[in-house]
Amino acid sequence: MKKVLLLSFFSVTVLFCVVAQVKKPQPKVVVNNAATSIERGKVVYQKECLSCHQADGGGVPHLNPPLYESTDVVGDKKKIISIVLRGMTDRVPIDGEYYSNNMAPHQELSNLQIADVLTFIRASWGNKASAVTPAEVQAVRGVKKK
């Protein structure tokens, strides 16, 4: 009987230790990989860009350009960072088409928000281009428009 008691006491102790181990709080890791950036970027897109460029990124013919099948969107990051920061009213053809609406500047968005939203559009609707980082946004923000 003593043996049984001792044994059950022992297993309860072991069990307690195991539970304590499992419950140990994990150190908080700030995840900032492309997947989390895309998730955050989608939220920024829905709030700031969707009204013109539409949920499917298709834009509105002759008004707002589509963000897929666009040379610029998957091209030089500096150019599209600058368009988001400073807006665009150039009336120059985009992939052969003219768009009559104006794109307002979005300087009030943080470097992280702009990096996230551009990472999102560069990875959506068939686009497969690399992520944009907050440092790359800051680099363009720091340069005065000529």
Our finding on whether 117 is near ligand HEC (CB under 6 A) is yes
Neighbours of 109 (CB within 10 A): 18
Task: Output the six-digit token pair for 7.
Answer: 């044994």
The rounded distance, in Å, linking the Cα atoms of 50 and 53 is 5
Residue 32 Cβ, how far from ligand HEC at the closest point, in Å? 19
Question: x/- contact string, 47-66, with ligand HEC (CB under 6 A)?
Answer: -xx-xxx----------xx-
Residue 35 Cβ, how far from ligand HEC at the closest point, in Å? 19
The rounded distance, in Å, linking the Cα atoms of 43 and 37 is 10
Our finding on whether 88 is near ligand HEC (CB under 6 A) is yes
The rounded distance, in Å, linking the Cα atoms of 92 and 100 is 10
Q: 141, 111 in Cβ contact below 8 A? A: yes
- DSSP, collapsed to helix, strand or coil, labels residue 88 as strand
Our finding on whether 72 is near ligand HEC (CB under 6 A) is yes
Our finding on whether 123 is near ligand HEC (CB under 6 A) is no
Residues that bind ligand HEC (CB under 6 A): 48-49, 51-53, 64-65, 67, 70, 72-73, 80, 83-84, 88-91, 94, 99, 101-104, 106, 117, 121
